[in-house]
Structure 1
Amino acid sequence: MDINEKNLIIDRTYTCPICDKQFHSKTVKSNSAKFVDTMADLRPIHSNINVTKYDAICCPNCGFAALAKNFNNTTSIQRKLIREKIQSNYKSHEESECDTYTTEMAISRMKMVLLCTVTKGGKDSEIGNVCLKICWLYQDLADEIPDDDPNAQAKRETYLKEADNAGMNAYERLTKARMNEGFPIAGMNETTLDYLLAYFAYKKGEYQTAMQLLSGVVSSRSVTPRLKDKSLELKELIKPKLHEENS
């Protein structure tokens, strides 16, 4: 990660839709993140900054939190629920004085987004998307552990277990969204979502489900070459697992 991360972010002013107070939150400057690749679970990798750390917007006055793209998208009923169940129990605090958000801070902020999204009765796609980002952040946290840390292995196992738990929650919610909501779902088209569901089905040991989803992805006319390659790689991992089950 680039040591000049603080030069890639700015403080943006927001007006909270719940308490109407202004506050600042750090956001990545437009076109500053240098994309490298996506991992098997579509976790985005950038060479100079972890953009997922800055996806959560949290009001320090009332506790309302949401993903940046959804921050102002609340109904009157949802605002009422947040005021009753979040704001009434929240202790306001000063904005954090820091140059950047650590991954630990980002996880805490994203968990607040999850709490608010569930509290306001968010759609399965919204909840699943937040769980997916928590999954990614815990993997990032595991990647950041120094090799010379005497507790490196134990920490890594703990963080990856948290990542798996969040990933399975994302799988459950996004599977429901796939059945009940229209596309795009969590910003994904049909082939991208089906690939992601196939990946988590594989992680859960649901190999037949994973293969069925992947067959649809690779035969789709709209699949990108990059996603098709990922799908074929995943199929190769699943084939011996299916063989073991059937032998």
Structure 2
Amino acid sequence: MKDIFSGLDDLGFENVDGLNLYGEKDKKENEPENDFNENSLKDLSHLYDKKLTCPVCGASFTVKAIKTSSYRMKGKDSDFFIRYELVNPYFYDVWLCNSCGYAAMKADFEKIKSFQKDLVKQNITSRWRGRTYTEPYDLAISIERYKLSLLNYVYMDAPASKKAMNCLKLAWMNRLEGDSKMELEYLNQSLKGFNDAYFNEDFPIYGMDRFTTMYLIGELNRRIGNGEEAMLWFSKVITTPSVNKRLKELARDQKDLIKCVKSDENKDSSESYTTSSKKKGFLSSLFTK
């Protein structure tokens, strides 16, 4: 879990890299500059201020929200990451109270229990130094805010599904940044959480029914290299009668993709063996046994 919470030192959280997201034993193993570019004013035109009251400390504050007319989807990845034009909604998905440090994805911000408020005050507020962000938000800022949200979820003992979705969105942001190493780390952590949630939480999970979650678990397995495990989950989706046609098609596509990759690997392995055998035969002909 190295670097999952990196970059939060200046905010008062110096020693948090060893935290376990899901309670299991820990297996230990640069952010770009925030430039105010020529598109900044254009990006701001898609935003408006939304007034909130912090459910933890009661402070009033505003967050940036995106105008409905500014949502422009241009594509979707196989793990449900939506790619947008004009402005990126993921950059504004985390709401943060600068008074107490409470942060959560906007879908969860108001859904905090009394005992969790106490945990936030004990573990977050007591160390919070405050943070001011330049606007509009960029990739580096969004990653930091998602990390703060994840840190809150860990300290407030949030359900595995919340930590899993937070990690998935961090994986997506690192994908945009081109950091494949950290993307893979967050995908791994997201998979752990969704596996836990699938067996221990009620559906829907962030709008996903049981079968959509099954597909996502399969896709996360595929992306981290667990091809055989991914095939099992995709097969469950495909063979379940009540699953909608579109989801079955997605599962078949990803299952076929795994087969193609496996076929190519076997072909490369076979060609390597043939080449090696030929070399061995040539050398053997030069020496008597």
Q: How high is the TM-score relative to the length of structure 1?
A: 0.84
Structure 1 residue 24, shift from structure 2 partner: 1.5
For the residue of structure 1 that corresponds to 2:68, the secondary structure is coil
Name the counterpart of 2:193: 173
Q: How does 1:125-164 map to 2 (within 5 A)?
A: 125-142=161-178, 159-164=179-184
For the residue of structure 2 that corresponds to 1:69, the secondary structure is coil
Tell me whether 1:223 sits opposite 2:259 in the alignment. no
For the residue of structure 2 that corresponds to 1:70, the secondary structure is coil
For the residue of structure 2 that corresponds to 1:66, the secondary structure is strand
Is the contact made by 2:214 and 2:237 (CA closer than 8 Å) also made in structure 1? yes
Name the counterpart of 1:73: 111
Name the counterpart of 1:40: 78
Name the counterpart of 1:123: 159
* CA displacement, residues 113-134 of structure 1 (integer Å, 9 cap, x when unaligned): 0000110000000110100010
Is the contact made by 1:208 and 1:242 (CA closer than 8 Å) also made in structure 2? no
Name the counterpart of 2:217: 197
For the residue of structure 1 that corresponds to 2:75, the secondary structure is strand
Return 5+ residue gaps in structure 2 as ranges. 1-38, 271-289
Return 5+ residue gaps in structure 1 as ranges. 143-158
For the residue of structure 1 that corresponds to 2:107, the secondary structure is helix
- Picking from 226, 251, 256, the partner of 1:236 is 256
- Picking from 10, 13, 26, the partner of 2:64 is 26
Structure 1 residue 240, shift from structure 2 partner: 4.2
**Greater Cα radius of gyration, structure 1 or 2:** 2
Structure 1 residue 224, shift from structure 2 partner: 4.5
* CA displacement, residues 13-35 of structure 1 (integer Å, 9 cap, x when unaligned): 11111221111211112253012
* CA displacement, residues 43-97 of structure 1 (integer Å, 9 cap, x when unaligned): 111222221111100111111100111111111100000001100111135x434
Give the aligned CA root-mean-square deviation in angstroms. Answer: 2.1
What residue identity is the alignment partner of 1:96?
Answer: Y
Q: How high is the TM-score relative to the length of structure 2?
A: 0.73
For the residue of structure 2 that corresponds to 1:12, the secondary structure is strand
Aligned residues: 226
